[in-house]
């Protein structure tokens, strides 16, 4: 141990944050007592943050003697004991995630914290302790084959952990990223560390960084690895998709936001990039962009990838709806974006409230969101369209006419005029009833009775519509049952049996069947048999499938140089162009408003002095540029500019 003592005495002077001779500190005897250090050992280094804390001996320090490392025994959660003998030090890898974090000794059996976290941004004590311990390890290992094997075993185990982390998180989290950098610096597993670094750049879709990193590889092994990684899609794509598509194992992290951002901002995408981005869109809940991108890419996408993506999306939809279902069962309404979620069948929060058979909950849901504008159809499912209608579902479940009326009013746009009329009449009845009490004029009472009679007629018409719709809904249900249409009949059974919804959500996490009907992929328990194409998943593994084309050999798209325009980039460019047009039009409008002169952008000069002509041109411009006509939401900026220009012309007329 004399050699270790000499090493520490020589090394400690190079570390400004470490106490070079703790034996000279005041109350040194207390340190021996506090840290349970035997009297025969000599304290040589004391690591603590005295410059940043008023507590020098309150369990915050780490002491190195000539024989062992000690941390304060009060830290029962750090390790079983507070002493690490130097003969055991080569068994561990010394690691600190960042300069403010705890210092660890790690191997396959233990993760021991030997120095605590600091909140002081300029505190380098932990960093210096890590450097000193690593230097000490190299001295202890020297040329000793056994101890070097122990150290490399710890490194190899940590590399395995890093490899497994890709399956759990997609990309390296900050912890594993820092760990990989430290292991790579040791050079014992340089090729494996380089492979993982390249894989991470690929998964971040950082193409420039990926190839820049390959250029840094040197030596015989480095050149060999560089050559093997020149086609990253062929090396990494399949494994990446396998990880992304296993939701029960995979955890979406903020680290993947960089991948999502990198891809979404690109002008053009390869097929591999588009598929990765589609999976990330599902995790992000970016439904609108998913639909745009899928339309752009699906034509050239291999059938297997389309099927796997659809299956993954169906499972994710159900997984997200579990929380909504649990909240509704507890009488709690969805929050925020949860209102827009649907399960794999296309059923949303109102469908679930109806299925739960709680009329009070149904009314709470109806009063909390607008269901008159929702598309209640699943894409391309014509025979089953009717079954998505909220009123149809209510008519299958309830005989309560009052509730059916509330569902009709809350979900049918055509009921709005009648409801508005009833509310106005209620107001008029109330006003005239009050006036009749304070004024002897019989006209008030007569008008109140007249309004009351009108109200009864409108309410009667509304009730008649509800009864007619109920009758039609039940006739449609009988027609569907008689036709034995597989999908529509199954959907009705789900609407009328709460146990089916529970089974679809609670019993499909690891094993399930995913059926496809037209453009709808929906999840059911594995034991449910329907006469539809399906994929059977058992323990999160594809075990059997009847989807056409799934088993066919397909040409690889990895070598294709073909790319297609990114819908997000194209949309951004359209919005930018529209904004520039609107800005230009707005500037010219302001010129008219102040000086009554203008280089016309939208209106012609004939509209300057003729109100009728101004109105005519305004109507024509709305027909030409309104987003509902053009189908381009970005044209809303042009409409705003037209309205501003019209206002400026009117101001000029009234001068």
Please tell me the pTM assigned to this model.
0.76
How far is the C-alpha of 181 from the C-alpha of 335, rounded, in Å?
41
Angle between helices 349-356 and 303-329 (to 10 degrees): 50
Estimate to the nearest angstrom the gap between the alpha carbon of 595 and the chain centroid. 52
pLDDT at position 575 over 80:
no
Q: Which residue has the higher pLDDT, 36 or 187?
A: 36
Asked if residue 248 has pLDDT above 90, the reply is: no
Cβ count near 266 (within 10 Å):
17
The pLDDT, as a whole number, for residue 381 is: 41
Residues 98-146: tens digit of each pLDDT: 988 999 999 999 999 998 888 778 888 889 999 999 999 998 888 688 9
pLDDT for 398: 92
Phi-psi region of 134 (alpha: psi -120 to 50; beta: other; left: phi over 0): alpha
Helix runs in 484-566, H state only: 486-496, 498-506
Mean pLDDT of the chain: 84
Q: Is 328 helix (H, G, I), strand (E, B) or coil?
A: helix
Quick check: 457 pLDDT over 80? yes
Helix (H, G, I), strand (E, B) or coil at 77: coil
Condensed to tens digits (0 to 9), the pLDDT of residues 309-319 reads: 999 999 999 98
* Residues 601, 608: Cα–Cα separation, whole Å: 13
**Which residues, at least 6 apart from 403, have a Cβ–Cβ distance to it below 8 Å?**
359, 362, 363, 394
Domain ranges in the chain are 2-142, 151-301, 566-654
Give me the pLDDT at residue 407, please.
93
The string of pLDDT tens digits covering residues 473-522 is 899 889 888 888 899 899 999 999 999 999 999 888 889 999 998 888 99
Q: H or E element: which one contains 545?
A: strand 541-545
Q: Provide the CATH topology of domain 2-142.
A: PH-domain like (2.30.29)
């Amino acid at each position: 141990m004399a050699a270790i003592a000499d090493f520490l005495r020589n090394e400690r002077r190079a570390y400004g944050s470490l106490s070079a001779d703790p034996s000279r500190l005041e109350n040194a005897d207390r340190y021996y007592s506090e840290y349970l250090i035997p009297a025969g050992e000599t304290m040589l280094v004391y690591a603590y943050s005295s410059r940043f804390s008023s507590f020098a001996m309150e369990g915050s320090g780490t002491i190195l003697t000539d024989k062992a490392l000690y941390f304060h025994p009060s830290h029962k959660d750090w390790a079983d004991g507070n002493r690490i003998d130097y003969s055991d030090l080569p068994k561990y890898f010394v690691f600190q995630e960042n300069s403010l974090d705890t210092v660890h000794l790690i191997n396959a059996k233990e993760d021991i914290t030997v120095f605590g976290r600091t909140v002081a941004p300029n505190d380098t004590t932990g960093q210096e302790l890590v450097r000193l311990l690593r230097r000490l390890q190299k001295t202890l290992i020297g040329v000793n084959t056994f101890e070097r094997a122990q150290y490399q075993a710890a490194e190899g185990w940590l590399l395995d952990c890093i490899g497994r982390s890709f399956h759990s998180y997609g990309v390296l989290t900050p912890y594993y990223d820092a760990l990989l950098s430290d292991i790579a610096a040791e050079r014992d597993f340089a090729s494996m560390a380089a492979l993982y670094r390249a894989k991470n750049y690929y998964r971040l879709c950082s193409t420039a960084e990926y190839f820049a990193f390959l250029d840094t590889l040197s030596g015989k092994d480095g050149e060999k690895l560089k050559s093997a990684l020149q086609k990253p899609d062929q090396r990494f794509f399949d494994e990446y998709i396998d990880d992304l598509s296993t939701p029960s194992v995979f955890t979406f992290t903020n680290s993947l936001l960089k991948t999502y951002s990198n891809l979404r901002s690109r002008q053009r995408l390869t097929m591999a990039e588009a598929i990765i981005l589609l999976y990330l869109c599902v995790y992000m809940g970016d439904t609108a962009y998913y639909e745009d991108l899928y339309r752009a890419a699906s034509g050239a996408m291999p059938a297997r990838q389309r099927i796997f993506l659809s299956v993954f999306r169906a499972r994710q939809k159900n997984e997200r709806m579990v929380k909504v279902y649990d909240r509704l069962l507890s009488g709690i309404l969805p929050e925020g974006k949860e209102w827009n979620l649907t399960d794999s069948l296309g059923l949303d929060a109102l469908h679930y409230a109806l299925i739960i058979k709680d009329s009070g909950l149904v009314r709470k849901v109806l009063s909390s969101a607008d269901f008159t504008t929702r598309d209640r159809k699943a894409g391309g499912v014509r025979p089953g369209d009717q079954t998505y209608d909220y009123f149809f579902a209510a008519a299958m479940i309830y005989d309560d006419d009052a509730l059916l009326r509330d569902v009709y009013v809350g979900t049918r746009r055509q009921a709005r005029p009648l409801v508005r009329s009833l509310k106005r009449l209620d107001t008029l009845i109330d006003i005239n009833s009050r006036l009749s009490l304070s004024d002897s004029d019989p006209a008030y009472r007569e008008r109140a009775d007249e309004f009351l009679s009108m109200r009864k007629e409108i309410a009667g018409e509304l009730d008649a519509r509800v009864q007619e719709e109920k009758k039609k809904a039940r006739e449609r249900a009988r027609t569907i049952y008689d036709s034995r249409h597989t999908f529509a009949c199954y959907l009705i059974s789900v609407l009328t049996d709460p146990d089916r919804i529970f089974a679809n959500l609670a019993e499909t996490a690891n094993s399930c069947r995913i059926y496809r009907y037209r453009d709808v992929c929906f999840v059911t328990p594995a034991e449910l048999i329907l006469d539809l194409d399906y994929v059977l998943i058992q323990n999160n593994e594809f075990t059997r499938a009847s989807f056409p084309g799934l088993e066919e050999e397909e040409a690889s798209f990895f070598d294709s140089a073909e790319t297609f325009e990114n819908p997000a980039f194209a949309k951004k460019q359209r919005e930018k162009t529209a904004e520039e047009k609107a800005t230009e039009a707005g500037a010219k409008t302001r010129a008219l408003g102040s000086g009554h002169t203008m280089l016309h952008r939208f209106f012609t000069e004939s509209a300057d002095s003729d109100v009728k002509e101004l109105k005519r041109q305004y109507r024509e411009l709305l027909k030409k540029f309104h987003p509902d006509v053009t189908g381009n939401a970005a044209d809303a900026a042009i409409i705003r500019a037209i309205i501003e220009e019209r206002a400026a012309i009117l101001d000029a007329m009234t001068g």
